[in-house]
Chain A
């Protein structure tokens, strides 16, 4: 199992944002976590990548307990978090944004190689290599954010609503790239409000409701679940 989360609880001060969340992400698969606004999707990912502290529960990565390790220590272990809102460095160029993602990689030739790979996946990013990050469009910023995660060399990609604010054509493009990145061997945990798109590409799915994981199964099973169809697929 690539990632295993057991009874995770995360608090912001006195507020329990995540109360009891458990799920597994098998090697090489795409797992999606779907849920409404405020369900705790972002908080879950932030806890996994070390940006928030866990109040209780355990997180294991490849059998190693990584609960409450610091974010910068988790990057070399293979956690690559593409955060909500993309968080591109606005006054660094596209190229500098990507170079920084290679911060923990000793071999700078390898960083160059990964950057070339990102450029071949997202040619649009290559065209804008010397442009400032803040001047990119929303879709381009999303590509750059995924690109940075790839340059870190992550083996587990945590994607927080990659479709947010994008035109439908772009959403399709991004999702296609997610599938192709996964095919090349990267495991993916995808958080989405856009449940239909997410379920279409995922192997397994979990439903997150007000801080609890309430349903789980294969993506097909979840897609067929009447409650899910009503609440998240608008059918």
Chain B
């Protein structure tokens, strides 16, 4: 076996991919339903990390020692905070421009992103500098078949898997999921079924934001350093993952994210600069061969 393709790297790749997947899902769901690339989505991830940070100190003071309960509450807080900010961004910034030219919402999304980054940097309680993230769950190492993996790897992969399976069930089986698919296919027809389209759009932003929030918590724990601009890089990578998989397609976003997580990890093991650039190279290559992305279907009216 080649030195860079060992079990250790595969596990690391899956871990990175899990975090990308949680973010990419929000990009793809929001695009699917309103055909908007929500450039502020990476910032929802940042907000999740800060919400987790605050929630940990809050809950740990009263519930110190009960690690499981605290971790669960922190997860809930990060998801709720990011979901709420996503809802608010939709209501205040995107909804008024819904049926205006697409370029307006695209530029607004960039504006929302910059606003969140600068606003959080300017807030005295947060500030522009790095903060070290608390060890919400004690870090330990486990040896599996020669590879040494941290329990965080297991947590990241498992939390992402549970959330993604729940989302799949919601979208495929529930009537809310059917309404989401209907709205993404034909808004007028959905209205004629009596569906409140704006409510379904809000719900989609909420779920997408909440998933980014969970990713923010996982990333905060795994790479324990948070700052207001932390969402830019993973946000961009997750966006690439969503496009790679076929934007608007839910399984595609997950597939794209794991491909990117693995490719980045392997390439970084070889050379860290290549690791940074590999995702772009893969994207260009895939789009040249399949302009709709791996699982995407039609190219019509994207963006």
When distances are taken between beta carbons in the complex, the residues of chain A under 8 Å from B196 are 70, 72
Taken together as a complex, chains A and B put the C-alpha atoms of A70 and B40 apart, in Å, by 30
Binds B, one of A23-31, A89-97, A120-128: A89-97
> Which of chain A's residues has its CB closest to B185's CB?
A89
Interface residues on A, range: 20 to 34
Binds A, one of B10-18, B57-65, B145-153, B175-183: B175-183
Quick one: given A91-B181, A92-B182, A96-B178, are A152 and B189 in contact (CB under 8 Å)?
Answer: no
A92 touching B189 by the CB < 8 A rule? Answer: no
When distances are taken between beta carbons in the complex, the residues of chain A under 8 Å from B178 are 92, 96, 99-100
Q: What are the interface flags for A144-180 relative to B under an 8 Å C-beta threshold, 1 for contact and 0 otherwise?
A: 0000100010000000000000000000000000000
When distances are taken between beta carbons in the complex, the residues of chain B under 8 Å from A104 are 193-194
B residues 152-206 in Cβ contact with A at 8 Å: 175, 178-179, 181-182, 185-186, 188-197
Taken together as a complex, chains A and B put the C-alpha atoms of A89 and B197 apart, in Å, by 15
A10 at the binding interface (Cβ < 8 Å): no
Q: Given A50, A70, A90, A101, which contacts B193 in the complex, CB threshold below 8 Å? A: A101
B residues 29-49 in Cβ contact with A at 8 Å: none
Taken together as a complex, chains A and B put the C-alpha atoms of A100 and B194 apart, in Å, by 9
Taken together as a complex, chains A and B put the C-alpha atoms of A100 and B196 apart, in Å, by 12
Taken together as a complex, chains A and B put the C-alpha atoms of A101 and B175 apart, in Å, by 11
> Which of chain A's residues has its CB closest to B297's CB?
A91
When distances are taken between beta carbons in the complex, the residues of chain B under 8 Å from A71 are 188, 191-192
B193 touching A103 by the CB < 8 A rule? Answer: yes
Taken together as a complex, chains A and B put the C-alpha atoms of A148 and B189 apart, in Å, by 10
Instruction: With a 10 A CB-CB cut-off, give which of A51, A70, A89, A104 has the most chain B CB atoms.
Output: A89
> Which of chain B's residues has its CB closest to A81's CB?
B192
Q: Is the interface of B mostly helix, strand, loop or mixed?
A: helix
Q: Given B179, B186, B192, B194, which contacts A76 in the complex, CB threshold below 8 Å? A: B194
When distances are taken between beta carbons in the complex, the residues of chain A under 8 Å from B197 are 72
> Which of chain B's residues has its CB closest to A71's CB?
B191
A residues 50-96 in Cβ contact with B at 8 Å: 50-51, 70-72, 75-76, 80-81, 83, 87-92, 96
When distances are taken between beta carbons in the complex, the residues of chain B under 8 Å from A81 are 192
Q: Given A51, A72, A89, A148, which contacts B181 in the complex, CB threshold below 8 Å? A: A89
A152 touching B193 by the CB < 8 A rule? Answer: yes
Quick one: given A100-B178, A103-B179, are A83 and B192 in contact (CB under 8 Å)?
Answer: yes
Q: Given A50, A70, A91, which contacts B185 in the complex, CB threshold below 8 Å? A: A91
> Which of chain B's residues has its CB closest to A158's CB?
B192
Q: How far is the CB of A118 from chain B (nearest CB, A)?
A: 14
B191 touching A100 by the CB < 8 A rule? Answer: no
When distances are taken between beta carbons in the complex, the residues of chain B under 8 Å from A152 are 192-194
Taken together as a complex, chains A and B put the C-alpha atoms of A14 and B196 apart, in Å, by 28
B185 touching A90 by the CB < 8 A rule? Answer: yes
Taken together as a complex, chains A and B put the C-alpha atoms of A103 and B189 apart, in Å, by 12
Q: How far is the CB of B187 from chain A (nearest CB, A)?
A: 9
Taken together as a complex, chains A and B put the C-alpha atoms of A99 and B181 apart, in Å, by 13
Taken together as a complex, chains A and B put the C-alpha atoms of A89 and B184 apart, in Å, by 10
B175 touching A72 by the CB < 8 A rule? Answer: no
When distances are taken between beta carbons in the complex, the residues of chain A under 8 Å from B186 are 87, 89
A49 at the binding interface (Cβ < 8 Å): yes
When distances are taken between beta carbons in the complex, the residues of chain A under 8 Å from B195 are 72, 100, 103
A residues 29-60 in Cβ contact with B at 8 Å: 49-51
Q: What are the interface flags for A95-117 relative to B under an 8 Å C-beta threshold, 1 for contact and 0 otherwise?
A: 01001110110000000000000
Q: Given B175, B185, B188, B194, which contacts A51 in the complex, CB threshold below 8 Å? A: B188
Taken together as a complex, chains A and B put the C-alpha atoms of A148 and B182 apart, in Å, by 13
B179 touching A100 by the CB < 8 A rule? Answer: yes
Q: How far is the CB of B16 from chain A (nearest CB, A)?
A: 31
When distances are taken between beta carbons in the complex, the residues of chain B under 8 Å from A70 are 191, 196
Known: A87-B192, A103-B194. 18 other contacts (CB 8 A): A51-B188, A71-B192, A75-B192, A76-B194, A83-B192, A87-B188, A88-B189, A89-B182, A91-B181, A92-B178, A92-B185, A100-B175, A100-B178, A100-B193, A104-B194, A148-B193, A152-B193, A152-B194
Please report B residues at the A interface, Cβ cutoff 8 Å.
Answer: 175, 178-179, 181-182, 185-186, 188-197
Closest 9 CB pairs of A and B: A75-B194, A104-B194, A87-B189, A71-B191, A103-B194, A72-B196, A100-B193, A89-B185, A89-B182
Q: What would 27 A/B residue contacts be, using CB atoms closer than 8 Å?
A: A49-B192, A50-B191, A51-B188, A51-B192, A70-B191, A71-B191, A72-B195, A72-B196, A81-B192, A83-B188, A83-B189, A83-B192, A87-B186, A87-B192, A88-B189, A89-B185, A89-B189, A96-B178, A99-B178, A100-B178, A100-B179, A100-B190, A103-B193, A103-B194, A103-B195, A152-B192, A152-B193
